[in-house]
Amino acid sequence: MPRLTLSTVSKRFDDFQAVDGVSLTIPDGAFLALLGPSGSGKTTVLRLIAGLEVPDGGEILFDETIVAGHGAFLPPEKRGIGMVFQSYALWPTMTVRGNIEFGLKVGGLKPRERAARIEEVLKVVGLAGLGDRRPHELSGGQRQRVALARSLATRPNLILLDEPLANLDAHLREAMLAEFRRIHSLTGSTFVFVTHDQDEAMAVATHVAVMDHGRLEQLATPEELYRKPASPMVARFIGRGRTLPVRVLKSEGGRTRVMLGQQLLDMPGNAPVGYGWLCFHASDLKRVNEGGHLKTELVGQVFQNGSLLSHCLPTEIDGDVVSLPLDERIAPGTPIELVITDGWVIGEGRGTHSNGDVTRRSSTCRPGVISLR
Ligand SMILES: Nc1ncnc2c1ncn2[C@@H]1O[C@H](COP(=O)(O)OP(=O)(O)OP(=O)(O)O)[C@@H](O)[C@H]1O
């Protein structure tokens, strides 16, 4: 399986920049999730990798071979890829075996090799014995497995999956995610998976590429994205994270000293001195009776996952609502003091405190300098 490289790849549709200078490299056998909000350019990146779109700029390489860019363009059928769509795209009148066999016939495999290959992939996807069924005799999950088996049968270099679980219910989706993980490790193939569902991406992928407005915000492992977001957008998008504006006073050896309002905090991070963001999750907040880092007021509670997810609005700094699970019902308006036990400090980056860029990129955060009231 090849290493996949995109180097400053761009694609415009008329005057709309759908993909804007995306560069990434993933190693052989990786499971890459392209994750981002609707319209962020994920599917267009997948189609560019497949050869279903031609980039306007940049290049795409499988190992050292340029498949698109610099005047070169390898058509989809020559790229050695398998594609799985959310619609399955199975031929309804053909049996499972017939659906899988079609691509093998086109590939010129002899009947005996075809039969052996079909049995092999049916076993891999857990459908041994169902080769004579037709698509309407299968469940949604089984149909998606046939689509995957059909892609695997031709032993492609890359398997590209475009929201393959979108048509399945939540329970089946979880089961299929586990299946994808199992099949990925069994085959050692490189998978690229498009999804707008971060739980899906984080559960299944070895690498996650977060996209926004056609740009790559960050490429990292799921753990790194969660713990060390590279931009305010990633911090807020992953794990329902929150950001608060801070002033970075010192930054050394992966630690930063920051001012959050009038509170001095020492936090992990990697930010230049100046304005920055403190990124954290609900699990990093703890309620205390006094001496908290953040003074807030309770604005609402929702019963979720066995506890009361409590939304609290900072009262002494100009920051967004933060949320944490609490055990008791509390009247709205009650003052709540919070300690921030962990987090990650980043520079103001492309989302700034002052020029409104942050609001354009996320509706959940108000921009603004820390106001000391
Ligand atoms: N063939 C096309 N012609 C014109 N605009 C297009 C075309 N394909 C995509 N776009 C536009 O490019 C942008 C990115 O589309 P894309 O499908 O890549 O996003 P996405 O992140 O996969 O979104 P979703 O999760 O909704 O599928 C969208 O605004 C879309 O309308």
Select from 169, 188, 223 the last residue of a domain.
223
Provide the pLDDT for residue 347: 94
**Lowest model confidence (mean pLDDT) among 127-141, 308-322, 346-360:** 346-360
**Of 15-24, 72-81, 134-143, 356-365, which has the strongest mean pLDDT?**
15-24
Q: What percent of the chain has pLDDT over 70?
A: 92
Provide the pLDDT for residue 179: 82
Select from 223, 247, 262 the last residue of a domain.
223
Do 218 and 340 belong to one domain? no
- The residue written with tokens 């990292």 in the block is 220
Do 155 and 274 belong to one domain? no
Q: Band of the pLDDT at 120, cuts 50, 70, 90?
A: confident
Do 96 and 122 belong to one domain? yes
- CA-nearest residue, atom 4 of ligand 1: 13
Do 186 and 106 belong to one domain? yes
What domain range includes position 20? 4-223
Do 80 and 183 belong to one domain? yes
Ligand 1 pocket, Cβ-based, cut-off 6 angstroms: 13, 16, 18, 36, 38-44, 196
Indicate the number of domains in the chain. 2
Select from 223, 257, 278 the last residue of a domain.
223
Closest-lying ligand 1 atom to the alpha carbon of residue 40: 21
- CA-nearest residue, atom 17 of ligand 1: 43
Q: Which helix (H) or strand (E) holds 295?
A: strand 294-304
Per-residue pLDDT reduced to its tens digit, 262-283: 999 999 998 999 999 999 999 9
In a domain, 152, yes or no: yes
Do 290 and 257 belong to one domain? yes
Mutate to test the pocket of ligand 1, among 19, 40, 217 (most ligand atoms within 8 A of CB): 40
DSSP string, 33-98: EEE-STTSSHHHHHHHHHTSS--SEEEEEETTEEEEETTEE--GGGTTEEEEETT----TTS-HHH
Do 108 and 255 belong to one domain? no
CATH number at residue 20: 3.40.50.300
Instruction: Provide the token pair at 22.
Output: 């995306």
Mutate to test the pocket of ligand 1, among 34, 35, 38, 44 (most ligand atoms within 8 A of CB): 44
Q: Band of the pLDDT at 362, cuts 50, 70, 90?
A: very low
Mutate to test the pocket of ligand 1, among 43, 198, 215, 216 (most ligand atoms within 8 A of CB): 43
In a domain, 119, yes or no: yes
Do 133 and 244 belong to one domain? no
pLDDT, mean over the chain: 87
Q: Which residue has the higher pLDDT, 113 or 367?
A: 113
**Predicted ipTM of the assembly:** 0.96
Provide the pLDDT for residue 1: 55
Provide the pLDDT for residue 193: 92
For residue 1, the number of C-alpha atoms closer than 13 Å in the C-beta half-sphere is: 23
- pTM score of the predicted model: 0.85
